[in-house]
Amino acid sequence: MNSRYPHPLIAREGWLYLGLACALALAVTVMAGGGWAIPFWVVALFVLQFFRDPARPIPSGDQWVLAPADGRVVAVVPCQDPYRQQPAVKVSIFMNVFNVHSNRSPVAARVREVSYHPGQFLNADLDKASEANERNALLLDLADGRQITCVQVAGLIARRILCYVRAGDQVLAGQRYGFIRFGSRVDLYLPPEVHLCVAIGDTVKATTTILAQWSQT
């Protein structure tokens, strides 16, 4: 295994929120005393844990499809990939507010397209969130011709999807490419012939959990 990690342990997306939360807690401590400030320090601790972004070991080899997010598998279902209009297996990972919300590429691939769709902010645990909610899809083309679609889906509380790659970019397996703030979901549309390594209800971790393995040909 190896680890590629270009960012600090606290996600850069959270620096402003953490700074504001700590400044407010400190101000209340100075002006009103430690007792009154306890709830504000609790909020600051929550912000700190939400925006944590630990380095992760990356399994070696190109035969794996890695989990793109931390969370719980809430769907494993044959379907039609709505972005490529071809048969697929959808694997959905729900992230609650206590999961790491940094998103990582499941494979080494070229980004064919980045497709943003505005939408609602339903509970991301619901199946209809995949089609109804605000979302951002990465269409990934592997060197061997296989294709994967990786979709960031906003949730009930999540109101901001961040994506840092563009069409034409090359991404590495396990590479950090985006972030979703305050609870959300990631959908993966995989080729039907893939061998799945997870089931509904499983808890997964971005990069370190092997979600699927390519069938040997």
Which active-site residues does the annotation give? 184
Residue 144: C-alpha distances to residues 36, 88, 139 (Å): 60, 17, 15
Neighbouring residues of 97: CB distance < 8 A, sequence distance ≥ 6: 50, 157, 182, 183
Gap between the terminal Cα atoms of the chain: 25
The two three-digit tokens of residue 50, written as one number: 């939400």
Of the candidates 97, 138, 125, 102, the residue with the CA atom closest to the CA atom of residue 200: 125
- CA distance linking residue 194 with residue 176, whole number of Å: 23
